[in-house]
Chain A
């Protein structure tokens, strides 16, 4: 890392606040994410999880405080900036185009082309080959990279979306409720995929309401309540009951 960093945090959020009109969505939030770890972000609805995530992925800009990514101060003004820096987001609605094929979705707006400008010519063969490599690397179960997303199941779509996030040498993959809409078997498969991301060296920020899942997957958990980050725990040193108590406020940090 660069000389300016004191620690080796991948992300450090320092005293970040953000208001929408009179609503204070984030109040003085500070937390860190370690490289190569799965970090969970939990909290009740409206606690500010999604807002914080949007600050990281370039959708919102904090009113106050700083976000450092990989040691550098991060001033993302668009999601594109965040993506270029190495932060990928798997959106809750997955952001897939149903009528396009798997490979087209994987390479949407990142097309491999000859030439430049709006009339740059697509290198379809290279994109199919690369897409094949991407799904094989993560052992994603899709019938074929040339099938349209419309024909995929919910779990397969989630997998394609995660595959896209992981596929472009991203350092951090943010996932917002990746298994909320999935069945038991598909949830298991996606969880396997998330662990695989960690094995491959990606850091993962996981928003989840499923405490069992958080305990199963994460290395560290941050708890948010009413716009504040109220506690952080190593998973190995906490219990599901404690996290619930922290979320509801029954236990103060």
Chain B
């Protein structure tokens, strides 16, 4: 113990490896990838790999925000429908008033950030669990998406915006793809990797990241030493709604028209990606790379089942099994990491410094 006090980092590599949140998810991702490579011949090509990455990115981008929020100790159930809300707000506003799509995109961003702010403000102000507050927002947005679309267009489909001003540029930003050696790479994949890297950096290297872990681990303790708990948590809710807006823009400018009922249920996919990636449901533990791997597992599985020629209806069942396994693995790894160290740090030997 005397050495460890001086040495600073007493944990051997194996312990540090086991203590990393994403270790279970990485192993699972490898197993699943190998499994589908073996089971589905159509899966074995660069093209399908990048299709998997694209599929992963559409879930993964919002999942980063949801993961950060969960590390910060809160939930957001409205994260699925806000994607659709963002796209609808942009397209219908511009279509109705006949203005440039850029203006609509920025208004939509402001609106989404406002929803995120309201979520966070209500949670912090009332003390009601975020699960309930955002469940409320979820239903409000779901209903408003359908209701308003029907008022504006008379159906549940938003108008086609591909001939409106500003479309080509926005499509280039949010929904472009390019050819890299014969495979199609969607821009969202790069955005996804970029956002993941940024989130990982913020969490691990910056003061804000330190606060996110602290408020998720114990909001009261963090408050007692002066961490701005309310501000940080509201910021996290707004991060989720920003990323939701981003994917909403992608969906809108890729398909030009939106189904108003879309997005429902995706909030759970984000949470699953975060949990499978090692984020603790109770907050204070996790990292962005794990969430990225969780989203990758989602992408691999959802397309692997299709490539293997199986009934895609099994996908959700498989996802459920993955979630349960992930929770069990995380629990096991965590208890293992704690117990081995407790044994090493037997009490006694006071005043050795």
Binding partners A and B: yes
A residues contacting B by CB (< 8 A) are 78-80, 83, 91, 93-100, 104, 108-111, 113, 118-122, 128, 132, 135-136, 139-147, 150-151, 153, 164, 189
A-B contact pairs, 6 of them (CB 8 A): A96-B218, A99-B285, A104-B214, A108-B210, A119-B202, A119-B206
Q: Complex formed: what's the CA distance from A80 to B344 in Å?
A: 38
User: Complex Cα distance A145/B7, Å?
Assistant: 10
Chain B interface residues toward A at CB < 8 A: 1, 4-11, 202, 205-211, 213-214, 217-218, 220-222, 224-227, 284-285, 338, 341-342, 344-345, 347, 349-353
Q: Are B227 and A141 in contact, with the CB atoms below 8 A?
A: no
A104-B210 contact given A122-B205, A141-B352, CB 8 Å threshold: yes
Decide: B349 and A128 in contact? CB cutoff 8 A: no
B-chain residues with CB within 8 Å of residue A146 when the two chains form the complex: 8-11
Question: Does the CB pair B226–A79 fall under 8 Å?
Answer: yes
Main secondary structure of the interface of A (DSSP, over half): loop
Additional 12 contacts, C-beta under 8 A, given A97-B284, A141-B351, A141-B352: A96-B218, A97-B221, A108-B210, A109-B227, A122-B209, A132-B6, A140-B353, A141-B350, A144-B5, A144-B9, A144-B10, A150-B338
Supposing A95-B225, A100-B214 touch, asked if A121 and B205 sit within 8 A by C-beta, the answer is: yes
Question: Which chain A residues lie closer than 8 Å to B226 at the CB level?
Answer: 78-80, 83, 109
- Tell me if A98 and B218 are in contact (CB < 8 A): yes
Known: A120-B206, A144-B8, A145-B8. A135 touches B217 (CB 8 A): no
B10 nearest CB neighbor, chain A only:
A144
Write out the residue numbers on chain A whose beta carbons fall within 8 Å of the beta carbon of B285: 99
**In the complex, are the beta carbons of B341 and A151 less than 8 A apart?**
yes
Q: Are B225 and A189 in contact (CB under 8 A)?
A: no
Contact (Cβ within 8 A) A99 B217: yes
CA distance in complex: A141, B1 (Å): 9
CB distance from A103 to the nearest CB of B (A): 9
Which residues of B have CB within 8 Å of A104? Answer: 210, 213-214
- List the 8 shortest-distance A-B pairs measured between CB atoms, nearest first: A95-B224, A97-B217, A95-B221, A99-B284, A99-B217, A143-B345, A118-B208, A136-B353
C-alpha gap A205/B345 in the complex (Å): 32
Bound CA span A110–B214, Å? 13
Name the residue of chain A whose CB is nearest to the CB of B339. A151
Q: Which of chain B's residues have a CB closer than 8 A to the CB of A142?
A: 5
Shortest distance between the CB of B208 and any CB in chain A (Å): 4
Given A141-B353, A151-B341: A122 touches B206 (CB 8 Å cut-off): yes
Question: In this complex, what residue of B is CB-closest to A155?
Answer: B347
A145 to nearest B CB, angstroms? 7
Q: How far is the CA of A100 from the CA of B188 in the complex (A)?
A: 34
Complex alpha-carbon distance, A111 and B209, angstroms: 11
- Chain A residues with Cβ below 8 Å from B11 are 146
CA gap between A135 and B351 in the complex, in Å: 11
**Cβ 8 A contact of B4, one of A93, A96, A120, A144:** A144
A140 to chain B: which residues have CB within 8 Å? Answer: 353
**Closest CB-CB distance, B333 to chain A, in whole Å?**
14
On chain B, the residues within 8 Å of A80 by CB distance are: 226
Kindly list chain B residues whose C-beta atoms are within 8 Å of the C-beta of A120: 206-207
C-alpha spacing A140/B1, complex, angstroms? 12
Residues from chain B with a CB closer than 8 A to the CB of A95 are 218, 220-221, 224-225
Docked complex Cα distance between A96 and B219 (Å): 10
Chain A residue with the shortest CB-CB distance to B221: A95
In this complex, the member of B211, B218, B220, B221 whose beta carbon has the largest number of chain A beta carbons within 10 angstroms is: B221
**Which of chain A's residues has its CB closest to B11's CB?**
A146
A146 to B214, CA, bound (A): 16
Q: Chain A residues near B342 (CB, 8 Å)?
A: 151
Residues of A within 8 A of B205 (CB): 121-122
Distance (whole angstroms) from the CB of B232 to the closest CB of chain A: 9
| B213/A151 in contact, CB under 8 A | no
Q: How far is the CB of A45 from chain B (nearest CB, A)?
A: 22
